[in-house]
Chain A
Amino acid sequence: MKIRDMTRLALVKADDATERVNAPIAGIPKTAPARPPADRSRLERMFTAHHALVWRTLRRRGLDADAAADATQQTFLVAAERLPDINHDSERAFLVGTALRVAFSWGRKTVRWQLDEDMDRRVGAARDVLDEQTAIQLCDLALSKVDPELAEIFVLFELEDLTSPEIAALLEIPLGTVASRLRRAREQFRMVVSRLELAMRREGNA
């Protein structure tokens, strides 16, 4: 179909867009529903305080930046509907737990662990920026080689500063299990990074 034809068809029904925008989508709320000012204020505060953490948690689950933003929005929409049920002291845990479930519900097919195809070119073009991005990508790459149930705890503890009791409560597992999984996650992560390091040295010296 030619773009010109598509444009014509779209313009024929000029009011269609407005109608569709305002229509609900099954399963995906369009935006936070109307709520009392106090709730809106609380949601804003939660978003300001935790949106980056939620987004990062989703990124570490393998979602790209855009998908992580969509999933973050979905996470806060869930929170918006559950505000009365969320203790003020456990907002962060609620959001992280919800984000993990959102990521799971999106399925593994959205996960992207591969390095950018044009990474080599970007290395040469913009080293300052790239180094930070490279480090993030390598971190994700290393995490992708860690058993998922271990990596989850590693991310929450090492990157997002949740405490072991918080993680235990969040995942409903014993504190000892958190400790053992964290230990094993560290072993696996460090093994991957050490192999990566060796490879870099070897290639660098070649």
Chain B
Amino acid sequence: MTSDPKRLTVVGATDLERSLLQAARRERPSHELTARMAAGLGISAAAVTAAAAVTTAAPGAAAAAPVAVAKTTLAAWVPAGVLAAAVAAGVVGVRLSSAPAPVGQNKPAAAVVAAPAEEMPAMAPPVGASTERRSEKIRRRTAAPAVVPAPPAPVPAGDLRDQIALVDAARTAVKARSTARALVLLRRYDVSYPGGAFRPEVLALRIEALAEAGHAAEARGLAREFLARYPHSPLADRVGRVAQK
């Protein structure tokens, strides 16, 4: 077995290359994002605090390089406005995929990513295939006490802008047929804004997302609920079409 080559950040990189790579290595989720993820997993506040404390430590040996490396280097290389102009001009839009594919490795990246899911039973199952089963398991557990994180504090009445942003993001995801993302966003709305102003819209979007994801029966059930609860909603016609499918 041959030994690994040294990382570019250790040897061989130009100053700019090293700056870009080290900045990417240092990137970490904000404390807010970390707390949100932990809450969604039912992880204790103490663990979140511990995770946040780790945030202050640079990941990896090379990341120990000071931030000033990136700042100094980029300050020398990047005058304001140059980056966007360079990109807009297509300077870095060079197409590099003309290089020959390795022998026997012609499958696209998507296949490379997906392949282990099909071939590695010891590893995680493919997400799409497992979701139905997981959902069923969780339904069966509804009688058991779940580890439910405490919901965030009630949202101030004037916090409509954040709600709108969340609903807009979910709507965009539904339009893009990114149903998993849409459902996560809608769930986040439910948890964050239990008395939110956009409950009907959120329910309508969930119905559309479920229908798009192939969960027709559940979508129809929710659509009937929607029509019973919000019979005069402007969304009723749209939801009604789902209910009739």
Number of interface residues of A (CB under 8 A): 130
- In A13-71, the 8 Å CB interface with B consists of 13-14, 16-18, 20-22, 24-35, 40, 43-44, 47-48, 51-53, 55-56, 59-60, 65-70
CB distance from A46 to the nearest CB of B (A): 10
B213 touches A26 (CB 8 A): yes
Query: Using Cβ atoms and an 8 Å threshold, which residues of chain B touch A200?
Result: 77-79, 82-83, 86
Contacts of B230 in A (CB 8 A): 9
Q: Give the residue among A28, A74, A104, A145 with the most B Cβ atoms within 10 A.
A: A28
Tell me the residues in window 29-49 of chain B with beta carbons closer than 8 Å to chain A beta carbons. 29-30, 33-34, 36-38, 40-44, 47
Is B181 a contact partner of A20 (Cβ separation < 8 A)?
A: no
**Docked pose: A107 CA to B5 CA in angstroms:** 32
Contact residues on B (Cβ < 8 Å of other chain), bracket: 35 or more
Interface check B84, CB cutoff 8 A: yes
Residue of A nearest to B7 (CB): A158
> Does any Cβ of A come within 8 Å of B67's Cβ?
yes
Residue of B nearest to A192 (CB): B92
Instruction: Indicate if the CB atoms of A145 and B92 lie closer than 8 Å.
Output: yes
The answer for the CA separation of A147 and B108 in the assembled complex, in Å, is 9
- Mostly helix, strand, loop or mixed at chain A's interface? helix
Across the interface, name the chain B residue whose C-beta is closest to A99.
Answer: B124
Contact A47 B114 (CB under 8 A): no
Q: Are B127 and A80 in contact (CB under 8 A)?
A: no
Residues of B within 8 A of A56 (CB): 24-25, 27-28, 59
Residues from chain B with Cβ under 8 Å of A94 in the complex: 123-124
How many Å from the CB of B221 to the closest CB on chain A?
A: 11
Interface string of A110-133 (1 = CB under 8 A from B): 100001000110011001100110
Query: Do residues A115 and B83 form an inter-chain contact, with CB atoms below 8 A?
Result: yes
B79 contacts which of A181, A193, A204 (Cβ < 8 Å)? A204
Contact of A134 among B28, B78, B108 (CB under 8 A): B78
B96 cross-chain contacts in A, Cβ below 8 A: 145-147, 188, 191-192
Q: Are B59 and A52 in contact (CB under 8 A)?
A: yes
Q: Write the chain A residue with the least CB distance to B10.
A: A158
- A27-B135, A188-B99, A190-B17 given; A17·B190 CB < 8 A: yes
Are A100 and B147 closer than 8 Å at their CB atoms? no
B218 touches A26 (CB 8 A): yes
> Which chain A residues lie closer than 8 Å to B153 at the CB level?
none
Asked whether, in the complex, the Cβ of A6 is within 8 Å of the Cβ of B200, the reply is: yes
Given contacts A24-B139, A170-B116, 13 further A-B contacts (CB under 8 A): A31-B40, A40-B147, A47-B37, A52-B29, A74-B184, A105-B127, A131-B74, A157-B7, A158-B21, A175-B2, A184-B102, A196-B91, A204-B79
Can you name 6 A-B residue pairings with CB atoms under 8 Å?
A21-B194, A31-B42, A52-B51, A115-B83, A139-B24, A200-B79
Q: Would you list the 6 A-B pairs with minimal beta carbon distance, nearest first?
A: A148-B109, A135-B23, A27-B131, A17-B194, A98-B124, A139-B20
